[in-house]
Structure 1
């Protein structure tokens, strides 16, 4: 019997801080690994439909690291080329890591990539119930934090919020409407 010597996901480590890493895994290059991620996610997501056609996707895999290797916490996938500006196609945090901030970390990381690519993004819809709660909470806190930090800079536009946050204008407007921060213009 041989011991498995693989200690981390395939692909490139694109982020590391303390005991957390994010690996970028190309679905076309590491097909079996990405298919297995999708099948694992299906155990926890009722609406998960992608299992085998992983070639057009990139998977950002979050791990916790220790002396034994990098242990899967969760991941998000996104299309390599999305005409709909989706920065997340599927997002999942394994149950033992839920309610510890890792889902929010993955959401935040997806928007970090959107800002880096200078392309506002939005998750693929419809969102699951938990996804909707998580994203609304994220949008709300991130937009409010941005508005607080900009309070003395004068005029704030949806476009400027979008540039700073990586969020689409639609998601920003929906969030501001939920907060009743926007009022219709008369005439």
Structure 2
């Protein structure tokens, strides 16, 4: 199967499973890391460190939010018997929910991420501290807070890209043409 053949709902299910079974995932990666006979020891060591960071958890929860919203649309668009009017309505609902998420829900996401990190003993950065990218020069780094980085550079940027993609891909004439092509093939 090619990557483009993968259904988005399988990505959503994987993310939800990682969140629900986080402790087990960490244990498995730790077990792989501790087996010195593995060819992928460096990869497992890096993964073990990375998955236990605030940054990883933030990305995980953000993707769960976005894919949770787009999952219903994705499943509906895969149906052969989908009517155009219903599909366009689902696209609009999806765009509205993403816009609402962008406008109102950063605080809720941040709270959920912090709560998860507390439950799993993951260090939570002070949101008022300056944000530095590991491995990059601190002198040349832009002077932004962690709060700005997570809210503007990640949250807003990812949601804006998703909304742009939906607007570009599902403008009405273009979308109707794509549906007709699928139905006639």
Which TM-score band applies after superposition, normalised by the shorter structure? under 0.3
TM-score computed with the length of structure 1 as normaliser: 0.27
Instruction: State the TM-score, normalized to the length of structure 2.
Output: 0.27
Task: Kindly name which structure, 1 or 2, has the bigger radius of gyration based on alpha carbons.
Answer: 2
If each structure's helix is expressed as a fraction of its own residues, which one has the higher value?
2
